[in-house]
Amino acid sequence: MPDSEIIREIEVFDATPREVSLERRERRFKKLLRHAKANSPFLARLYRDVDPEDFSLSQLPIQERAIMEPHFQEWVTDPAIRMEEAKAFLANPENMANPFLGKYSLLTTSGTSGLPLIMVRDHLHRRVHGALRQKRLLGHIPPELLRPDRNRIAAILLQNSPSANFISFTRLKRLFPENLENILGLSTIEPIPELVRKLNEFQPATLCGYSSLLGVLALEKMHGRLEIAPSLILSTAEQLTKTALSALSKAFSDCTVLNDYCAAEAGEIAMSCRCGKLHVNEDWIILEPVDEEDRPVTSMEISDSVLVSDLSNFVQPVIRYRLDDRIQPMSKPCRCGSKRQLITVHGREADVVIFENILLPSVVFTSLMNELPGVLSYQFAQTRRNRLEFRAVYPDETDRTAFFNALSEKVGQILRGNGCSQVEFIASDTLPKSSSRGGKLKSVISEIWQSFEEEVS
């Protein structure tokens, strides 16, 4: 499929009759399923009773991360992709943003809901999702806001991790080697006062980052400590919750806030339109918000999780893959005129923990775990006003004491750097606890959770 056709279809989607779009989507889905059955040994087994020419969506088994992850080698459709080689490739920072085996993009999930998972994307995925970004997300903003030869761009990232964001950031720096002084990369684990100081000094026109951190920066701006006036704020990776969005709009006037609801597993799922509402990229993504029993939720109901299918990635087919996001399909049409499904993404149980009246976004802790391999699963839990517990499942080969000491030193730096000097960080014998709702494991929880909403409203 040539690029011009991909772009043209995206441009005319809203003017195309619904039945034509749905038929096109169904053809894409069948093609993906045929390819998956023929080339992925794991999916051939999973779909052995499914006829790719005659099936209904609900008939397809759900891809659960815990099941798919150990079968990476058989999940991918190209036998040239070897798990050990992929891991070695990702471990070398020199390879960041370079093609794997000369043709694939290799990245990992950010680890906000568990340990990083390796994802491979092919050429079609890159072209389709690149076009969705260019046309739908960035199509209505002045292009110079993303050009470091014209404006200053700051991004708060998981530094040196092969996440989609850091790869894009690396590409931007390579594209503009003459303008590196206009590109600032900040780390998610830097203390908030330090981020504020650096941003005040840099004065970005464009600010990109994680939703939970942007929410905290909005509070810093309202309290008068952050003194920047960006024209564009771009939230990616985590979901920008309604609360964080209203805090940003309140704190930064005359600033466009764009929300890109994406996942390493499926790419660009939904994007904000001119009205600031999120529309699903229905031409290439199928999104099924489901309840605890995996039944589709009705309009305006909030889902327990969501199943996503990406019709553009043939090398690691993502079909009815479960993401632990809570989605509300909206029934009202949007003022922008788009017919694509409107959704609201609701926050997870706790996007922040609060110590000594200081908000710390969960990403601050989860990004640490990318730097410190050695646990199978983990959880940071605020169990008292000034106590943070670390719960983990360790493989036999990990020296627990050495691991916790290394972690404790880094957590101590974060807490002190943010002014939370009275917080006690302890290793707990308790295993990570799943939430009572839906039984899912959250990487960061506050068991004495206070509402973030109260502070920003």
- Residues near Zn ion, by CB under 5 A: 273, 275, 277, 334, 336, 338
CA distance 125 to 392: 35
Question: Cβ(337)–Cβ(402) under 8 Å?
Answer: no
CB of 336 to Zn ion, least distance (A): 3
Cβ closest to Zn ion, residue 276 vs residue 419:
276
CA angle 390, 396, 400 (to 5 degrees): 35
Cβ closest to Zn ion, residue 77 vs residue 341:
341
CB of 10 to Zn ion, least distance (A): 15
Cβ closest to Zn ion, residue 276 vs residue 438:
276
CB of 57 to Zn ion, least distance (A): 25
CA distance 18 to 22: 6
In 3-state terms, what secondary structure has residue 369? Answer: helix
CB of 136 to Zn ion, least distance (A): 10
Cβ closest to Zn ion, residue 81 vs residue 334:
334
Token pair belonging to 182: 């206009």
**For residue 115, what are the contacts with CB-CB under 8 A and spacing of at least 6?**
369, 375, 376, 377
User: Residues 270, 159, 210, 258: is their CA dihedral positive or negative?
Assistant: negative
Cβ closest to Zn ion, residue 280 vs residue 290:
280
Question: Cβ(126)–Cβ(134) under 8 Å?
Answer: no
CB of 16 to Zn ion, least distance (A): 17
Q: Which run of H or E residues covers position 444?
A: strand 444-446
Cβ closest to Zn ion, residue 27 vs residue 335:
335
Question: Cβ(75)–Cβ(68) under 8 Å?
Answer: yes
User: Helix 362-371 vs helix 211-222: angle between axes, to the nearest 10 degrees?
Assistant: 130
Cβ closest to Zn ion, residue 161 vs residue 235:
235
CB of 338 to Zn ion, least distance (A): 5
Give the CB-side neighbour count of residue 295, counting CA atoms within 13 A: 5
CB of 12 to Zn ion, least distance (A): 17
Place of tokens 């150990």: 70
